[in-house]
Chain A
Amino acid sequence: MEFAVSVKNLSKRYGDFLALDNVDLEVEAGELFALLGPNGAGKTTLMRILTTQLEPSSGTAFVLGKNVVSQGAQVRGLVSYVPQEMSVWTDISAYENLLIYSKIYGMPASERNKAIGDALELMELTEVANHLVGTFSGGMIRKLELACAIMIRPGILFLDEPTIGLDPVTRRTVWEKLRALNRESGMNVFFSTHYMDEADVYSDKIGIINKGRLVTVASSSELKHSVGDDRVEIETDSLLGPQAVSDLRALDGISGVETEGNTLRVLAKDSGLSLNAIMGVLRADRINVRKVTASKPTIDDAFLKYAGTKDMEGTRGRLAELKSVRKRIVRG
């Protein structure tokens, strides 16, 4: 099967600064792919190369089987791109934005009305279709941008930080719509984000990128498992005897046991499956359990492991800056 995105030894250099450093990446067709990394990691640069806006310094990149450098025009016919900044005209209505985009993309007049209507409907903008975009909230503008991008039925949708600055409810709606589209029509979605939870919940595969290097590509559960086992923490009324500890260690699927006063920590492959056996050992030893907490490794832990930092540095400053740019743009 053809890859949605296939990148080999891709580097991009701005003067002395290496924005992308030998990136290799293959994204299978039909997947929702998340590029996760802090600001300045190279996410936007990679997306702009894949959408033919920038040329790589070295290496090759294919989108849906087409070379982004030598077959740029064909790639542009297949992709839809929503930049991080605002990409709609604010001094005309939502409907007019969709109309102009549909004409620029050469949609036949016979399909236009239905496509625009469907896109407005999908993004819940039908009621405000004839309002000036300048009066819209940030969330509505983002939905309109997505409506423009989806309307033309692209082979692959590139979204650069699609939910930055959106409220949690809108974020969820947007993701549910995008996932439904991906599942129903098989539209490839390639997005960048620095929200770990978004990558965790909504993507099929996550690529972690940091300082221009793509450190790993895996599904969210693979990433979490690669960090380590589940942790079960048990507070007891009395101290555990050495026999109980060795009984615990002998259980299937247990990789570590340690005690600290009345607190017992167990590392298990799957905390749910092992819990009953652990409790059995404790009961046999007549130990009263006061409290049990089980925790699974999070995508944050995985990010920490692969990117070597948990610091989404500058995220807050960037967000404030983006918000002020957006405000200025809306005011015109």
Chain B
Amino acid sequence: MRDSIRIILSMIELEVRRVMHDQTEIVLRAVQPLLWLVVFGKVLSSLHSIPTGNIPYTDYIMPGVLVQSTTTIAIFFGLIIIWERESGILKKLVASPAPKFAIVIGRSMAAGTRALFQAVFIIPFAMLIGVTVLLNPVYLLAAAIVVFIASSGFAALSILIASILKSRERFMGLGQVIILPMFFGSNALYPIESMPPLLQSLAHINPMTYIVDACRGLLITGNISGLGTDVLVILIFDAMIFALATWNFKRIIE
């Protein structure tokens, strides 16, 4: 167990070192969420067409946009895994004493770390354009943990997909096909109550809904009554995906 934690920490350290050497991806991937906030958010809030209570629309969608961009980073981490498969790195890791679940969770949490850098980039920018973020340090820390855990789960999903698809071309298309439906089918841009009934029930089994709800409570509304359920759902999602990705991991190098 201690060995596994050490291996997971090494992989997180690897990712921090990587980001320190090159922030291009973090910066480029920040463009899209910033467009959501600056263009989409501003236009929709001037229309007042979506009932968001007493919260400005841009503030309302900020957590959703944040979660969308961090989970996108996590989903595209599968490309790094495919690169590591084409190079011999995965073969070398599989031949090392590291247990498979430690490799999978370690690589996933590395992606979670990368996603966290993205969040640290987006939140100050959102404040700069006028979003009111609750500056409660405990809430901020909790939100960071939620983003980290959730993104790690999505990264494990991408490792699972990478171990099935195995080529970057096939992978490229799939990344967006996973994130966008989850994004639009969640409470990220509009309250669930404003959706048609079928979409509403889908939204209730969509992990993105719970991640957004947790982040919205911690960063914007301060209403954390659903946080327990949110975290529980995210943890169950993570546990399931970690298990599946570990189970299928050896196939990636065959």
Binding site for B on A (CB under 8 A): 48, 51-54, 73, 76-77, 79, 81-89, 91-93, 96, 100, 103-106, 132, 158, 325, 329, 332
Q: What's the least CB distance linking A192 to chain B, in Å?
A: 14
Binding site for A on B (CB under 8 A): 3, 6-7, 9-11, 13-14, 17-18, 21-22, 83, 86-89, 91-99, 250, 253-254
| B87 in contact with A82 (CB, 8 Å) | no
- Pairs A–B under 8 Å by Cβ, sample size 16: A52-B94, A53-B94, A53-B95, A76-B97, A77-B97, A82-B92, A85-B86, A89-B18, A92-B18, A100-B14, A103-B6, A103-B13, A104-B7, A106-B3, A106-B6, A325-B86
| B10 in contact with A88 (CB, 8 Å) | no
Given A76-B97, A77-B97, A100-B10, verify A332-B83 contact (CB < 8 Å): yes
Picked from B13, B22, B96, B250, the residue with its CB within 8 Å of the CB of A105 is B96
Given A92-B14, A104-B7, verify A86-B87 contact (CB < 8 Å): yes
A86 to B85 alpha-carbon distance, docked (Å): 10
| A329 in contact with B96 (CB, 8 Å) | no
Picked from B21, B92, B94, the residue with its CB within 8 Å of the CB of A132 is B21
Q: What's the least CB distance linking B17 to chain A, in Å?
A: 5
Residues of A within 8 A of B250 (CB): 53
Picked from A51, A88, A100, A132, the residue with its CB within 8 Å of the CB of B13 is A100
A86 to B90 alpha-carbon distance, docked (Å): 10
| A86 in contact with B83 (CB, 8 Å) | no
Picked from B17, B86, B98, the residue with its CB within 8 Å of the CB of A96 is B17
Picked from B9, B89, B96, the residue with its CB within 8 Å of the CB of A88 is B89
A332 to B21 alpha-carbon distance, docked (Å): 14
A87 to B91 alpha-carbon distance, docked (Å): 8
Residues of B within 8 A of A93 (CB): 21
Q: What's the least CB distance linking A25 to chain B, in Å?
A: 19
Q: What's the least CB distance linking B11 to chain A, in Å?
A: 8
Residues of B within 8 A of A48 (CB): 91
Given A76-B97, A104-B7, A106-B6, verify A92-B91 contact (CB < 8 Å): no
Residues of A within 8 A of B14 (CB): 89, 92, 96, 100
Residues of A within 8 A of B97 (CB): 73, 76-77, 105-106
Residues of B within 8 A of A103 (CB): 6-7, 9-10, 13
A53 to B252 alpha-carbon distance, docked (Å): 11
Residue of B with least CB distance to A14: B254
Residues of B within 8 A of A325 (CB): 86
Residues of B within 8 A of A84 (CB): 88
Given A76-B97, A91-B18, verify A85-B7 contact (CB < 8 Å): no
